[in-house]
Amino acid sequence: MTFSHFIKSFDELTNHEMYAMLRLRSEVFVVEQNCPYQDLDNKDQKGFHLLYYVDNELAGVTRLLPKGISYEEISIGRVVIAQTHRGLGLGVKLMEASIKGCEEKFGKGAIRISAQYHLSKFYQSLGFVEQGKVYDEDGIPHIGMLRA
């Protein structure tokens, strides 16, 4: 298996990359998790998108946003791995690349995420710390997490 990733601004994404990214987000968040929500929130245009490939097939994506868009801190969101590529340890690789991407694009600083609560231990292994109480986001328990 070969692994590769690219970080692109909204304007740098090709039509095919954009379509594949939005399709993957919809497949997982809307269909698999049965969570109808407004994915297109006008934040995609303000950040960068990490596209993670396995053997030239899109396997995962994240959205990297500068301070002041979603939170006071830099943020990583829309973290998703295709169902066909789970169990390969891609979550760690995807998040490590995303953290590094945030540092390259926005400088070193705190990174905030809104994590699905059942994944909080995974994010803790990457240096994120739970912040506040569990809350409902689109019918799924979430918790705020911060990596200083």
Q: Is the pLDDT of residue 35 over 90?
A: no
Where do we find the tokens 């490939």?
53
**pTM of the prediction?**
0.95
Question: For position 38, what pLDDT does the model report?
Answer: 84
| pLDDT tens profile 9-33 | 999 999 999 999 999 999 999 899 8
Of the chain, the percentage scoring pLDDT greater than 70 comes to 100
